[in-house]
């Protein structure tokens, strides 16, 4: 059964999903296609409690397709015939949200050890921890919250994710009903289609301090005369003033966060509660939630033209123009470098590397490279200032 789904046409024009419920024609071609990928998104639905959950559906998203494996009908044979290799190999990066549940279920029910995972829930937690100078939120984020916050997607476009979350709480046995309704198939497909672009945006956010520090070092020393006789001496190993700023920056972020977010009795930040001050509400994100953004200050780097679109919006735009076939540059630090060394043309999505696209011969597969989109503001909106 080959289907076209069309939900929220202004966000995704179409999404291809294929239901795999038998071995005869569709199973092996799907497995062979997935095994050729470097990065995939995965999701699962079933009923039961955490590790004891019975898996009913396994969703695997590639760049332009979503495969819905009916595990209830296929059974353990599906994993013996190829799914285990995909999930356990270190050569394919698996992007998921909350890997604890899916990993525990796969191990308990089928003995499958999920390997090489990028967890968007953990990445979002790390971003918030960095944004607040090391403080902790009161809870982890749902997929719809992470998509709304980082992909700048209006809540009106997240109804499918809300429906899936509600079903999981109220009537998880709905995933056992056969035949499965078209609306539920769409919900499952849409729940994994955002994982790959979400990973790229989160990687940019997590690398923002690093890129700001590098730019600060470049700007501070670009015009200084290099004394060749000093190279290799102890003075060259002293901690630069630009790197010393990070300690004060963490303190400033902690003070900002404690002023903005309500707190529990244990000192955890109520991340998704209304901000404490009107000033914080004025800079809340335009995603329908109340998570505030630190005011922007880019005095340390050369000024850029006003930002017209965010990186996430560009990712979603690329996704809608080609039906999930996203084109990214093969290398980059998460945003365009300062100066004239800006690459002009996009290259096919390689899906490997930890900041750069790795050569094919490199045996270890990383957990992401960073796409380059013009006029991308730092997610943390606090830069490292020259000379402080």
- How many domains, the chain? 1
Give the pairing type, strands 93-96 and 117-119.
parallel
45 touches 161 (CB < 8 A):
no
Using DSSP's 3-state secondary structure scheme, residue 224 falls into coil
pLDDT, tens digit, 9 for 90 and up, residues 152-181: 988 878 888 888 878 777 777 889 999 999
Question: 246 lies in a domain?
Answer: yes
Question: What is the band of 320 on the pLDDT scale with cuts at 50, 70, 90?
Answer: very low
Question: 214 lies in a domain?
Answer: yes
Work out the number of other CB atoms within 10 angstroms of the CB of residue 297. Answer: 12
Question: 288 lies in a domain?
Answer: yes
Q: Which residue range is the domain that position 198 belongs to?
A: 1-220+238-388
Question: 226 lies in a domain?
Answer: no
Average pLDDT on 114-134 reads 98
Nearest to residue 188, comparing CAs of 14, 19, 388, 329? 19
Give the pairing type, strands 347-348 and 327-328.
antiparallel
Using DSSP's 3-state secondary structure scheme, residue 60 falls into strand
Q: Please give the model's pTM, rounded to 2 decimal places.
A: 0.71
Q: For position 270, which CATH number holds?
A: 3.30.420.10
Average pLDDT on 314-337 reads 38
Task: Write the CA distances from 55 to 15, 156, 169, 221, 249, integer angstroms.
Answer: 24, 29, 15, 57, 45
Question: 231 lies in a domain?
Answer: no
C-alpha to C-alpha distance for 318 and 327, rounded to whole angstroms: 7
Q: Is the pLDDT of residue 245 over 60?
A: yes
Q: What is the DSSP string of 66-115?
A: EEEEEHHHHTTHHIIIIIHHHHH-SSSEEEES-HHHHHHHHHHHH-----
Structure-block tokens of residue 18: 């294929």
Choice between 341 and 57, residue whose per-residue pLDDT is larger: 57
pLDDT, tens digit, 9 for 90 and up, residues 355-373: 433 334 433 344 554 333 3
C-alpha to C-alpha distance for 87 and 109, rounded to whole angstroms: 14
Average pLDDT on 300-314 reads 38
Question: 173 lies in a domain?
Answer: yes
Question: 227 lies in a domain?
Answer: no
> Any idea which residue has 């809608």 for tokens?
320
Running DSSP on this structure, what letter comes out for residue 252?
Answer: H
Using DSSP's 3-state secondary structure scheme, residue 56 falls into strand
Q: Going along 90-200, which residue ranges are E strands?
A: 93-96, 117-119
| Residue-level pLDDT at 57 | 96
Q: Is the pLDDT of residue 41 over 60?
A: yes
């Amino acid at each position: 059964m080959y289907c076209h789904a069309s939900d929220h046409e202004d966000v995704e024009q179409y999404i291809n999903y294929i239901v795999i419920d038998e071995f005869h024609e569709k199973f092996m071609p799907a497995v062979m296609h997935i095994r050729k990928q470097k990065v995939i998104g995965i999701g699962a639905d079933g009923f039961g409690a955490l590790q004891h959950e019975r898996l009913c559906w396994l969703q695997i998203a590639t760049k332009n397709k979503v495969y819905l494996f009916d595990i209830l009908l296929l059974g353990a044979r599906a994993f013996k015939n190829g799914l285990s290799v995909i999930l356990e190999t270190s050569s394919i990066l698996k992007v998921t949200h909350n890997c604890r549940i899916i990993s525990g279920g796969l191990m308990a029910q089928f003995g499958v050890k999920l390997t090489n995972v990028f967890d968007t829930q953990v990445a979002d937690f790390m971003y918030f921890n960095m944004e607040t100078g090391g403080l902790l939120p009161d809870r982890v984020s749902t997929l719809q919250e992470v998509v709304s916050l980082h992909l700048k997607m209006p809540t009106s476009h997240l109804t499918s994710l809300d429906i899936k979350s509600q079903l999981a709480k109220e009537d998880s046995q709905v995933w056992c009903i056969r035949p499965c309704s078209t609306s539920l198939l769409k919900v499952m497909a849409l729940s994994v289609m955002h994982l790959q672009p979400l990973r790229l945006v989160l990687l940019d956010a997590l690398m923002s301090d690093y890129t700001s520090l590098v730019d600060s070092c470049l700007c501070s020393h670009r015009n200084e005369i290099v004394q060749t006789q000093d190279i290799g001496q102890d003075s060259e190993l002293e901690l630069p003033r630009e790197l010393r700023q990070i300690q004060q920056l963490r303190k400033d972020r902690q003070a900002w966060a404690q002023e903005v977010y309500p707190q529990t009795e244990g000192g955890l930040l109520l991340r998704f509660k209304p901000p404490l001050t009107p000033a914080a509400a004025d800079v809340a994100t335009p995603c329908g939630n109340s998570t505030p953004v630190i005011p922007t200050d880019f005095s340390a780097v050369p000024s850029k033209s006003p930002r017209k679109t965010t990186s996430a919006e560009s990712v979603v735009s690329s996704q809608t123009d080609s039906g999930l076939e996203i084109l990214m540059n093969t290398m980059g630090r998460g945003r365009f470098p300062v100066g004239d060394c800006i690459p002009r043309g996009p290259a096919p999505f390689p899906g490997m590397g930890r900041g750069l696209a790795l050569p094919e011969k490199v045996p270890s597969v990383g957990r992401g490279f960073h796409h380059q989109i013009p006029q991308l503001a730092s997610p943390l909106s606090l830069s490292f200032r020259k000379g402080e």
